[in-house]
Amino acid sequence: MKIVEGIYYSKDHEWIKVEGNEASIGITDYAQHALGEIVYVEMPEVDDELNAGDVFGVIESVKAASDSYMPVSGKITGINEELEDSPELLNNSPYESWILKVEISDLSELDSLMDHEDYKAFCESESH
């Protein structure tokens, strides 16, 4: 299982890459493994305002639909339209395939997220 350094992770297995006030959000390698083959991604609209913990989208595998949650609060500034036709990118390259971009409203929320080492330990505890 791949875990990338220098980005944040949530307990719902989303990753967040922060640049200034803006962040890209995707799902982790652990999450895509657990979901299986991803066949559809339902995304929010640009300009939607969402709070940390809100459902921002639904990722559907062959077998089931799973909610994805906002790790931070903010306004959606972009969605990855490529995923509409090629949802399998989330399986093939989870860390290169962002799902949405968000303008973070409260940077202090990042403190409640995990770094790569904490996330690694978290995944190990989840698998047992």
List contacts with another protein (CB under 8 A).
Answer: 36-37, 39-40, 42, 58, 60-65, 84
Cβ closest to another protein, residue 3 vs residue 34:
34
Cβ closest to another protein, residue 1 vs residue 62:
62
Query: Which of 42, 13, 25, 26 minimizes the C-alpha distance to 93?
Result: 26
Residue 65 CB, shortest distance to another protein, in Å, is 6
Cβ closest to another protein, residue 16 vs residue 28:
28
Residue 58 CB, shortest distance to another protein, in Å, is 7
29-36, Cβ contacts within 8 angstroms, sequence gap of 24 or more: 29/1, 29/2, 29/3, 29/94, 29/95, 30/1, 30/3, 30/123, 30/126, 31/94, 32/90, 32/91, 32/94, 33/1, 35/59, 35/61, 35/66, 36/61, 36/62, 36/63
Residue 93 CB, shortest distance to another protein, in Å, is 17
Cβ closest to another protein, residue 13 vs residue 104:
13
* Residue at 47: amino acid letter: D
Residue 53 CB, shortest distance to another protein, in Å, is 17
